[in-house]
Amino acid sequence: MALLARTLGAATAAFGAATALRPELVTVPAGLTDRDGATDRRTRVLVSLIGFRDVAVGTAMVAAPRGPALRWLVAVRAVSDAGDAVLLGSRLPHPAARAVSVAAAGGWAALCAYSARGAREPNPR
């Protein structure tokens, strides 16, 4: 069933919207704040852009027809999350934040990749 891929798409879109509006949802756990806990304006912009990326891909995963289109979107989601895991895991300033970010992004990448199995067939059986 494509239900898992579509559910992950909806969750991705919802979290992406929340992140676009409140980048602190990502910047605080990732350790991308100053000593006072504030997030630099440039970092807020970049995190918001990632949120909008997730809104676009997640919404498309919900709306795409089952088959090749949905499989490609799931692949985009999984590769995006895998890239996030690699970059955050290698570039964040604090080891604990790196570990949490790798677990979260890597877990979503794996879950999305797994969901591609149910997105394969154009006609449900």
Q: Which pLDDT tens digits describe the chain residue by residue (125 residues)?
A: 699 999 999 999 999 999 999 999 999 999 999 999 899 999 999 999 999 999 999 999 999 999 999 999 999 999 999 999 999 999 998 999 999 999 999 999 999 999 998 887 665 55
pTM for the predicted model, two decimal places = 0.89
Q: Where in the chain are the domains?
A: 3-119
- Mapping DSSP onto H, E and C, the string for the chain reads CCHHHHHHHHHHHHHHHHHHHCCHHHHCCCCCCCCCCCCCHHHHHHHHHHHHHHHHHHHHHHHCCCCHHHHHHHHHHHHHHHHHHHHHHHHCCCHHHHHHHHHHHHHHHHHHHHHHHHHCCCCCC
